[in-house]
Amino acid sequence: MSVDILLNNFSNPTFLFFILGILAVLLKSDLALPASSSRFISLYLLFAIGFRGGQELSHSGFSEEILLSLAFGVALSLFIPSYCFFILRIRFSISDSAAIAACYGSVSAVTYVSAIQFLESRQLSAGGHMVAVMALMEAPAIIISLIMLNRMDPGSVQKVSLSSILKHSFTNGSVFLICGSLLIGLIADSKQAEGIRPFTNDIFKGFLALFLLDMGMVAARRFESFRKSSYFALLFGIIIPLFNGCAVAWLSSYITQDLSNRFIFCILAASASYIAVPAAMQLSVPNADPGIYIPMAIGITFPFNISIGMPVYYHLINNWPLQ
């Protein structure tokens, strides 16, 4: 892999703000973003990504490739937790294994946003439909994990209906906002949409930098409290996402020839949810320990993906021949 790609990523201002957040915790600084500000910034980022994706989709239209992409995303979110569950059983309980598998089969909206910025820094852009792919990958991972858990240990799953799980997945604030913004961007008049372009485009990177500053502090705190508990979890949080991302770098070439979309597929496969899935797991599997699966997702996998993972996947899709 070209060292230039890594160095370029490490010198990206948004990534450097993430590092600054980590340093703030390690050096015991009193730096902190108000919770309300952090919440607003996260909502803004999801709104901007969804709206921009909808606008791009309205210009490109629907095609067979879009349908294949949606199906491929759902297939990934079913397969990844299925095999992860059995690997996790080596070290964790059935309930914890199901919860962790669901997190790694689902997606991280923040990692997705970071990947979009990574592409834009290289004057590239992913298809608008990739936002829909991301949204569709939330629920299947939760459902398949609960099915496996229910078959192996029926007593550990709360009696929650499938419709409740689906409703919770799609009405989760992050998913609901990004899907709603996608739909609005899709049907909005292009000329009138230009009026909010400065808000959705021009200030996006600044808000992302502030958000990653906050995420750096959150990740450092989570990892600090978790690092002594399990080397197995640490290795899993790095090796499995790396394997998923590298495998999808190859598999996605059968779905699309667009390098940006293939890169996003890699990120979706490699990321782990630490918002939507934990909320669903606390509802459905109260026996699972959130002190394990949340730190794994946000304290290990998220920092790995935005530092090392993205340059690796970008290198692979640019050097592996298209099928």
Identify the weakest region by mean pLDDT among 26-35, 145-154, 310-319. 145-154
pLDDT digits (tens, 9 = 90+) for 42-53: 888 888 888 887
| CA-to-CA dists, residue 252 to 83, 294, 317, 321, angstroms | 19, 28, 9, 11
Domain assignment present for 25:
no
Q: Is 42 helix (H, G, I), strand (E, B) or coil?
A: helix
Which one is predicted more confidently, 239 or 218? 239
Domain assignment present for 282:
yes
Domain assignment present for 265:
yes
Instruction: Say what the pLDDT of residue 266 is.
Output: 97
Contact status, residue 280 vs residue 142, Cβ threshold 8 Å: yes
pLDDT band of residue 323 (cuts 50, 70, 90) is very low
Domain assignment present for 314:
yes
Domain assignment present for 28:
no
173 has a pLDDT exceeding 80:
no
Domain assignment present for 226:
yes
Percent of the chain exceeding pLDDT 70 equals 87
225 has a pLDDT exceeding 60:
no
Instruction: Say what the pLDDT of residue 227 is.
Output: 61
158 has a pLDDT exceeding 80:
no
Domain assignment present for 29:
no
Identify the weakest region by mean pLDDT among 25-34, 186-195, 200-209, 278-287. 278-287
Average pLDDT, the chain: 84
Instruction: Say what the pLDDT of residue 5 is.
Output: 66
pLDDT digits (tens, 9 = 90+) for 85-116: 999 999 899 999 999 999 999 988 889 988 99
pLDDT digits (tens, 9 = 90+) for 243-296: 999 999 999 999 999 999 999 999 999 999 887 777 777 777 888 887 788 888
pLDDT band of residue 170 (cuts 50, 70, 90) is low
Task: Count the Cβ atoms, other than its own, within 10 Å of residue 151.
Answer: 9
Count Cβ neighbours within 10 Å for each residue of 203-239 and write b for 16 or more, e otherwise.
ebeebbbbbbbbbbbbbbbbbeebeeebeebbebbbe
Mean pLDDT, residues 130-136: 84
Orientation of helix 109-120 relative to helix 173-187, angle to 10°: 40
Domain assignment present for 30:
no
Question: What's the structural domain count of the chain?
Answer: 1
Which one is predicted more confidently, 186 or 72? 72
Domain that holds residue 184: 3-20+35-319
Query: Domain with 93 in it: what CATH number?
Result: 1.20.1530.20
Of the candidates 214, 171, 152, the residue with the CA atom closest to the CA atom of residue 21: 214
- With tokens 């699966």, the residue in question is 293
20 has a pLDDT exceeding 70:
yes
